[in-house]
Amino acid sequence: MRLISLPATLSIALAAAIEPPEGHPWLAPGPNDYRVPCPMLNTLSNHQFLPRDGRNITKDKVVSAMSSALNFNESLGALMFDMAIVANPEPNATFFTLYQLNRHNVLEHDSSLSRSDTFFGNNHVFNESIFNETKAYWTGEILDANMLANSKVARQLSSKAFNPNYTFTSTIEGFSLGEVSAPIVAFGDLQAATVNRTLVEYFFRNERLPTELGWSTRTEIINIDIISRLTQIISNASSLITTSEAVVSSPRRDLHAGIY
């Protein structure tokens, strides 16, 4: 084999650029592949942890994908499948497709962080202007629970103000809190409940695991207790009531010069 000698910086850049999760290279979805409003299910399909075509997603496949890509334990993967299977309208269904998850007000809901409300158009494709609304509240390089919660509440307020069909039940609130804490679960510091903004933006925008930015599957196994704790932290941070102490996370006052 002939080895080509590259300048060190170029070699490092190339190595970083082609580094996929082992055995799971990323491939953009084709025109007939189903995708969904969940950036993680899309990501796992793009890396073929889940079927690339977005079809025939069984419990075994969900458990295995969540475990290999994100180190979720088996019972958590199974629980997620059990919650998702309602999307398939067939009685006693044993699989769902990503297309079925797009059904409005089953699991898909209004006020997403990166998708439009159904009332306004496509509810499942990444939407840059919606994501810009969300990012306006991500006021630091490290996202904390307040920033994530603020973006959630702001998206709800925007939908409530402008979408005459705005729907957000307490069941949806439960899903939403899980979704908003999910970037911490996948890429962040579980103890501090924070996550690097760059990783999160890359993930939403590219529907790709941020391996080339230095991320790798965590070694700590994720269980339901970890998810519940983080969800509760986001829920607490979503309250607009404070104690007598100010609750502000790294405000970028330059962004609000006209307000302060």
Instruction: Name the 3-class secondary structure at 34.
Output: coil
**Which tokens sit at 111?**
């006020």
Q: Minimal distance in Å, beta carbon 40 to ligand HEM?
A: 3
Binding letters toward ligand HEM, positions 35-54, x by CB under 6 A: --xxxxx-------------
Find the binding residues for ligand HEM in span 146-205 (CB under 6 A): 179, 182-183, 185-186
Binding of ligand HEM at residue 84 (CB under 6 A)? Answer: yes
Neighbours of 166 (CB within 10 A): 16
Binding of ligand HEM at residue 145 (CB under 6 A)? Answer: no
CB nearer to ligand HEM: pick between 96 and 139? 96
Q: Minimal distance in Å, beta carbon 31 to ligand HEM?
A: 22
What is each CA distance from 152 to 127, 155, 183, 211, 243, in whole angstroms?
16, 5, 13, 26, 21
CB nearer to ligand HEM: pick between 46 and 112? 112
CB nearer to ligand HEM: pick between 139 and 186? 186
State the Rg of the chain over Cα: 19
Among 42, 88, 100, 112, binds ligand HEM (CB under 6 A): 112
- 52, 46 Cβ separation under 8 angstroms: yes
Q: With CB under 6 A as the contact rule, which of the stretches 18-26, 79-87, 160-168, 232-240 interacts with ligand HEM?
A: 79-87
What is each CA distance from 164 to 34, 37, 59, 89, 160, in whole angstroms?
29, 21, 37, 27, 7
Task: Return the H-helix or E-strand segment holding 142.
Answer: strand 142-143
Nearest in space to 64 (alpha carbons), one of 82, 77, 46, 51: 77
Binding of ligand HEM at residue 98 (CB under 6 A)? Answer: no
What is the separation, in whole angstroms, between the first and last Cα of the chain? Answer: 64
Residues that bind ligand HEM (CB under 6 A): 37-41, 62, 66, 70, 80-81, 84, 101, 107-109, 112-115, 179, 182-183, 185-186
